[in-house]
Amino acid sequence: MGGESNGHTLTRLVPPPLYRHRLVLALATDLLCQLVELQSEEAREASAFSHSMDLRTMTQSLVTLAEDNMAFFSSQGPGETARRLSNVFAGVREQALGLEPTLGHLLGVAHHFDLDTETPANGYRSLVHTARCCLAHLLHKSRYVASNRRSIFFRASHNLAELEAYLAALTQLRALAYYAQRLLATNRPGVLFFEGDEGLTADFLQEYVTLHKGCFYGRCLGFQFTPAIRPFLQTLSIGLVSFGEHYKRNETGLSVTASSLFTGGRFAIDPELRGAEFERIIQNLDVHFWKAFWNITEIEVLSSLANMASTTVRVSRLLSLPPEAFEMPLTSDPKLTVTISPPLAHTGPGPVLARLISYDLREGQDSKMLNSLVKSEGPRLELRPRPQQAPRSRALVVHIHGGGFVAQTSKSHEPYLKNWAQELGVPIISIDYSLAPEAPFPRALEECFFAYCWAVKHCDLLGSTGERICLAGDSAGGNLCITVSLRAAAYGVRVPDGIMAAYPVTTLQPSASPSRLLSLMDPLLPLSVLSKCVSAYSGTETEDHSDSDQKALGMMGLVQRDTSLFLRDLRLGASSWLNSFLELSGRKPQKTSLPTPEAVRPTESMRRSVSEAALAQPEGLLGTDSLKTLTMKDLSFKGNSETSDTPEMSMSMETLGPSTPSDVNFFLRPENFHEEGEAKDDVGTMDRAPRVRAAFPEGFHPRRSSQGILHMPLYSSPIVKNPFMSPLLAPDSMLKTLPPVHIVACALDPMLDDSVMFARRLRDLGQPVTLNVVEDLPHGFLSLAALCRETRQATELCVQRIRLVLTPPAAPLS
């Protein structure tokens, strides 16, 4: 009895297989969370170093530590790890010494490009700050290595991988500093955008786009931003590269989202693989991929979750404005009117959608006329009893959302708009304009102008008397706010009382600037993505109809995805996730002779990371570009050639094809770049190369991208010079018609120089303008308002600027 009882008890103590899998998954998730917290803590310490030391002191300290560590590891014998650590510290020393004079020069002249002494911000300052952040992290890591290198707990391989990643980033930043120095020498005093002749511009941009970018999307992802936001950026990048794998497999909606969630395990574990995949995706996938990825937030389930965490409002209704012409009075003579016609460009007359958001139910918002315009969005749960109507507000906010002119709707921006409605106490109408590439310029402008005029004319239906009206928008929406005001002035109708534009793009020309150089490393605004969005909006994108059914995720397809297919992907994705962690736990299944997707390799035969494969190359490649001649396929085969019978390659390499050509771009190489780059004996190439590469000192060689060439022309379409597309290029007479403009920009945004130069133009014309620049946040912080303290403060700054517009000016004292 006792033996049976003991045996029975022991049997019960053995967890069932499903429980063991859940336990492994829970432990792995907890480990990843701890790693993220550790990285955030290290990032905070590095950030503290960056702000407490001047550039020269920081460089000298880093060089001293690098020399000390280099000497130590050189004396540790012929071991491979010690040799590589010695080499990486030698590289850190070399790059830091080479970078410091250039950064000092840029910093010494940066003040000439500020809007004023109260607003020290421009692309040169941002580039120096970014380089300082990288130096600070290397300084922090070098100190850690010097203090712990003799400890038995010192993780040599982990520290080596991180040091090599940041050395690669520092090398590329040194190249960007030289490019910025070249811009400084070429441009007129005080001008931030490149103004060289066309041939020189082509040479400059041709050289710039060849730089390696993957190092900024792996271990170094978001190092320049506030530590609180980096875990989000890591999650976003993992989701993006996982999403890219499933994009062209006839998968849509919740299916591709769920598959991406569960198959992203290896990208979370391997930062170098993630960086290489990120670079390949941003360079090779077309605008429809980005449209699909950015529209994930439009999925009903995700948008509902976001709204649950936001402010509860009385009114959030989608309106369909009929495409009917109406009359508006002229501001110069209200007795005269002008006809506002419905949008016509490209697709003919059609309704314009707009979302009305109000914290309180106000007079007019429940009228029969407004109810007749409401577009059904399905059943809505009333969380609060219907109150008595509040009186009409004296003010109204007309909002235009961002999304690169190609993605998102007011639904994506609804969470922070609800907060605005509560804080400002005014109704907000957010315009859902038609998106490119299906509806290129000027369709969006026509729809936004039509909706703006409709809101001004029918503000009583929206719960406002319309005494004060503010146009507010972010990114592409900021651009449209400015151009809608210009169009209103051109028609002679009422312009808004002010504009709040958050990180707007004010010129769509392919002009380089110091802040736009940061697009090389920006995870939210990569340079190739910028070019694809501009091409789509300008209507010059070349469509590829070979797989048009897979171009974008239709909204109906997102919510009507077949349930059985979703569950299948969920099961397969979860299995893939578990297998990734079971490999790490050392579980060794039986080897198979054929390469099957279900095969789980033992720990010893797992695919080595990009950095491991690259570092296994001959010593001569170290310190320059150990990745530039290796593709993802090469690295995978090299990494497994010694330990695995079946080489492995990322599935995305097999399923993702080349991108579609595009005509408008920010930094793009010409179609024949590859041939020119490799045919060194070509006369034209030899003639031009010295002009471009003379910016680099002898012996300095930045890393070059190993991704496929971009088959895109270098020169932009003339349409991007249209002032209603690029308001920075508008003549003085047009800009003088603008109301007060309040710009909130980001110091680390590739579009920073757009804001600075636009504010300077308005200031020079005597126009009322303010520019506030927030530190350490990325482009698009409004959509991240609830993420951390820094994004909440930046969002509150936008609310303050809007409130400034909505507050009537004080009456002069008699």
- Judge whether 320 and 454 are in contact, CB under 8 Å: no
pLDDT value at position 488?
98
Model confidence at 137, in pLDDT bands (50, 70, 90)? very high
pLDDT value at position 772?
98
CA-based nearest residue to 221, from 290, 149, 259, 276: 276
Question: Out of 255, 475, 528, 538, which one is annotated catalytic?
Answer: 475
**Across the beta sheet with 464-474, what order do the strands follow?**
315-321, 352-358, 428-432, 393-400, 464-474, 498-502, 741-746, 769-774
**344-372 residues labelled b (16+ CB within 10 A) or e (exposed):** ebeeeebbbbbbbbbbbbbbbbbeeebee
- The one-letter amino acid code at 586 reads G
Among the residue ranges 445-449, 638-642, 785-789, the one predicted with the least confidence is 638-642
Burial of 691 (0-12, 13-18, 19+ CB in 10 A): middle
- Judge whether 476 and 402 are in contact, CB under 8 Å: yes
Given a cut of 90, is residue 808 above it in pLDDT?
no
Omega cis (within 30) before 442 = yes
pLDDT value at position 108?
94
Q: How far apart are CA 764 and CA 767, in angstroms?
A: 7
pLDDT value at position 512?
86
Q: Is 171 helix (H, G, I), strand (E, B) or coil?
A: helix
Given a cut of 50, is residue 591 above it in pLDDT?
no
Q: How far apart are CA 468 and CA 398, in angstroms?
A: 11
| Catalytic residue check, 246 | no
Model confidence at 374, in pLDDT bands (50, 70, 90)? very high
Mean pLDDT of the chain: 77
| Catalytic residue check, 779 | yes
**Looking at residues 195-215, what average pLDDT do you find?**
75
Given a cut of 80, is residue 589 above it in pLDDT?
no
CA-based nearest residue to 468, from 394, 360, 364: 394
Given a cut of 80, is residue 18 above it in pLDDT?
no
Model confidence at 162, in pLDDT bands (50, 70, 90)? very high
pLDDT single digits (tens) 406-430:
999 999 999 999 999 999 999 999 9
Q: How far apart are CA 281 and CA 292, in angstroms?
A: 13
pLDDT value at position 644?
37
Among the residue ranges 163-172, 260-269, 417-426, 786-795, the one predicted with the least confidence is 260-269
Residues 6+ apart with CB under 8 A from 692: 203, 204, 206, 207
Question: Out of 137, 212, 246, 779, which one is annotated catalytic?
Answer: 779
| Catalytic residue check, 412 | no
pLDDT single digits (tens) 649-681:
333 333 333 333 334 443 333 333 333 333 333
Burial of 390 (0-12, 13-18, 19+ CB in 10 A): middle
* DSSP type of residue 610: H
Nearest-5° Cα angle at 809, 806 to 813: 160
**Looking at residues 183-198, what average pLDDT do you find?**
82
Q: How far apart are CA 192 and CA 123, in angstroms?
A: 8
Strands 741-746 and 498-502: parallel
CA-based nearest residue to 253, from 552, 548, 559: 559
Q: How far apart are the first and last CA of the chain?
A: 104
Model confidence at 590, in pLDDT bands (50, 70, 90)? very low
pLDDT value at position 188?
86
Question: Out of 497, 749, 753, 754, which one is annotated catalytic?
Answer: 749
> Cβ of 78: how many Cβ atoms within 10 Å?
6
Q: How far apart are CA 300 and CA 306, in angstroms?
A: 10
Omega cis (within 30) before 589 = no
Percent over 90 (pLDDT), the chain: 52
* DSSP type of residue 605: G
pLDDT single digits (tens) 550-559:
433 343 343 3
**243 vs 628 pLDDT, higher one:** 243
Look-up of token digits 């290595």:
145
- Judge whether 748 and 523 are in contact, CB under 8 Å: no
**253 vs 686 pLDDT, higher one:** 253
pLDDT single digits (tens) 55-91:
999 999 999 999 999 999 999 888 899 999 999 999 9
- Judge whether 307 and 288 are in contact, CB under 8 Å: no
Among the residue ranges 84-98, 188-202, 683-697, the one predicted with the least confidence is 683-697
pLDDT single digits (tens) 117-131:
999 999 999 999 999
Model confidence at 377, in pLDDT bands (50, 70, 90)? confident
Among the residue ranges 432-436, 449-453, 674-678, 749-753, the one predicted with the least confidence is 674-678
pLDDT single digits (tens) 309-334:
678 999 999 999 999 999 999 999 99
The whole-angstrom distance between residue 728's C-alpha and the CA centroid of its chain comes to 23
pTM of the model as a whole: 0.78
**Looking at residues 20-34, what average pLDDT do you find?**
47
Look-up of token digits 């809608």:
484
Q: How far apart are CA 455 and CA 373, in angstroms?
A: 13
The whole-angstrom distance between residue 573's C-alpha and the CA centroid of its chain comes to 26
pLDDT value at position 249?
58
pLDDT value at position 44?
53
Given a cut of 90, is residue 629 above it in pLDDT?
no
Q: How far apart are CA 538 and CA 507, in angstroms?
A: 12
Q: How far is CA 413 from CA 318, 477, 797, in A?
A: 13, 11, 17
CA-based nearest residue to 480, from 411, 514, 430, 539: 430
Strands 393-400 and 337-340: unpaired
